[in-house]
């Protein structure tokens, strides 16, 4: 009896294509150009930029940087995503979406938990009727999203 086995490396080639495609994939987390306007008619992206970097009248509140710095475990989730590509044969886009969901959750938590200094001035608290930096109408928080660019 004679047996012959041929391996065409199709699974390896499939995995290599997925990993090669990941080099062209980017998960962008934050406020995007299509965020629109808040209830006061302010452009939400501009509002986010003014608050993140500060202006002459708005203190710097770098919520994007703080979220990234405080959650340096995002690389752990990227590594898990690659592992799932190999072990579970998932799609690259699905794995990127999982990482995006985690980053959005973490960025929103920074704002929701009032972890972004400085605190509001008394005059701002009086105007808003409550004390919560980066929350006025809730529009900024609701527009933190991720996008996958290929």
Q: Is the pLDDT of residue 7 over 60?
A: no
Alpha carbon separation from 10 to 16, 18, 61 (Å, rounded): 10, 12, 50
Nearest-angstrom CA–CA distance, 46 and 50: 6
What pLDDT digit, counting tens, does each position of 135-145 carry? 988 999 999 99
pLDDT at 118: 94
pLDDT at 149: 87
User: What's the chain's average pLDDT?
Assistant: 87
Place of tokens 């808040």: 38
Is the pTM higher than 0.75? The answer reads yes
- DSSP one-letter string for 46-66: HHHHHHHH--SSS----HHHH
Q: Before 118, cis peptide (omega within 30)?
A: yes
62: left (phi over 0), alpha (psi -120 to 50) or beta: beta
Nearest-angstrom CA–CA distance, 133 and 117: 8
Q: Is the pLDDT of residue 8 over 90?
A: no
| Sequence-ordered list of residues with C-beta below 8 angstroms from that of 8, at least 6 positions apart, any chain | none
Q: Is the pLDDT of residue 5 over 90?
A: no
Phi, psi dihedral angles at 7 (to 5 degrees): -115, 120
**Residue 22 banded pLDDT, cuts 50, 70, 90:** low
148 - beta bridge partners? 27
Nearest-angstrom CA–CA distance, 50 and 52: 6
**Residue 129 banded pLDDT, cuts 50, 70, 90:** very high
What pLDDT digit, counting tens, does each position of 36-91 carry? 999 889 899 999 999 999 999 999 999 999 998 887 778 888 888 878 877 787 88
Q: Is the pLDDT of residue 1 over 90?
A: no
């Amino acid at each position: 009896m004679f047996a012959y086995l041929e391996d065409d490396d199709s699974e390896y080639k499939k995995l290599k294509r997925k990993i090669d495609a990941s080099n062209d994939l980017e998960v962008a987390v934050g406020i995007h150009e299509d965020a629109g306007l808040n209830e006061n008619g302010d452009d939400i992206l501009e509002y986010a930029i003014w608050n993140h970097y500060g202006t002459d009248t708005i203190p710097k509140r770098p919520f994007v940087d703080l979220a990234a710095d405080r959650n340096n475990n995002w690389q752990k989730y990227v590594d898990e995503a690659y592992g799932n590509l190999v072990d579970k044969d998932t799609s690259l886009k699905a794995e990127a979406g999982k990482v995006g969901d985690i980053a959005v959750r973490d960025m929103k938590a920074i704002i929701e938990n009032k972890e972004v200094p400085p605190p509001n001035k008394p005059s701002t608290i009086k105007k808003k009727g409550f004390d919560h930096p980066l929350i006025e109408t809730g529009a900024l928080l609701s527009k933190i999203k991720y996008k996958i660019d290929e």
